[in-house]
């Protein structure tokens, strides 16, 4: 099994897992028709978290590339 060295990847997986569990739980507890609004908010939160984490990962990668480029000069 591959070691999870990137903490942002762990956060991404965890937030998606929590979101999917919440969506299924809300549907189970609230009923099919009443759950739609809450599920939409959970999905919006999942998408927001994914975008923030993707942005942070991209920023880290670019920062590391800049450092490597400056060190090679």
The DSSP symbol for 3 reads -
Q: How far is C-alpha 34 from the geometric centre of its chain's CA atoms?
A: 26
- Residue 30 resides in a domain: yes
- Residue 2 resides in a domain: no
As a whole number of angstroms, the distance between CA 12 and CA 36 comes to 24
Residue pair 26/39 in contact (Cβ under 8 Å)? The answer is yes
- Residue 27 resides in a domain: yes
pTM of the full structure? 0.79
- What is residue 1's predicted lDDT score, i.e. its pLDDT? 46
Q: What is the token pair recorded at 54?
A: 């993707």
Q: What residues make up the domain containing 16?
A: 7-71
Q: What is the token pair recorded at 27?
A: 């549907």
* pLDDT averages per 10-residue partition of the chain, 73 residues: 75 95 91 84 96 95 93 84
From the list 59, 57, 68, 44, the residue with the least C-alpha distance to 11 is 57
């Amino acid at each position: 099994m591959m070691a999870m060295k990137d903490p942002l990847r762990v956060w991404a997986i965890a937030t998606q897992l929590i979101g999917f569990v919440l969506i299924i739980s809300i549907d189970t507890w609230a009923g099919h028709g009443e759950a739609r609004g809450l599920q939409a908010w959970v999905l919006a939160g999942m998408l927001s978290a994914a975008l923030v984490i993707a942005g942070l990962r991209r920023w880290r990668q670019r920062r590391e590339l800049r450092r490597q480029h400056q060190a090679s000069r």
